[in-house]
């Protein structure tokens, strides 16, 4: 897939975002109220997620949470 990689070396800190998610799920942060906790995670309360202030040409369009028990979808 390398020939189709148009990122030109910019990954928009995706590894840092990945680490925040994985660390949050490994810690005690994710509790019984999953929807509210994941909303806080996506807002950046637990570390860098989508605050791309340093990159004016790149914005997060939306973030989604899928609740498989109630079949609800939350978008922000």
Q: Is the pLDDT of residue 39 over 80?
A: yes
Q: Is the pLDDT of residue 51 over 70?
A: no
- Domain assignment present for residue 5? The answer is no
- Domain assignment present for residue 3? The answer is no
- Domain assignment present for residue 6? The answer is no
Q: Residue 59: which domain range?
A: 11-75
User: Which of these ranges, 14-18, 19-23, 66-70, has the smallest mean pLDDT?
Assistant: 14-18
Query: At 72, is the secondary structure helix, strand, or coil?
Result: strand
Instruction: Give the count of domains, the chain.
Output: 1
- Domain assignment present for residue 32? The answer is yes
- Domain assignment present for residue 64? The answer is yes
Q: Is the pLDDT of residue 28 over 90?
A: no
Q: Is the pLDDT of residue 73 over 90?
A: yes
Q: What is the mean pLDDT of residues 46-74?
A: 78
- Domain assignment present for residue 4? The answer is no
Please say whether the beta carbons of 46 and 40 come within 8 A: yes
pTM: 0.66
């Amino acid at each position: 897939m390398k020939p189709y990689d148009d990122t030109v070396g910019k990954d928009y800190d995706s590894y840092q975002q990945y680490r925040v998610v994985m660390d949050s799920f490994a810690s005690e942060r994710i509790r019984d109220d999953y929807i509210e906790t994941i909303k806080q995670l996506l807002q950046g309360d637990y570390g860098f997620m989508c605050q791309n202030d340093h990159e004016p040409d790149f914005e997060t369009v939306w973030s989604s949470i899928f609740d498989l028990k109630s079949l609800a979808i939350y978008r922000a």
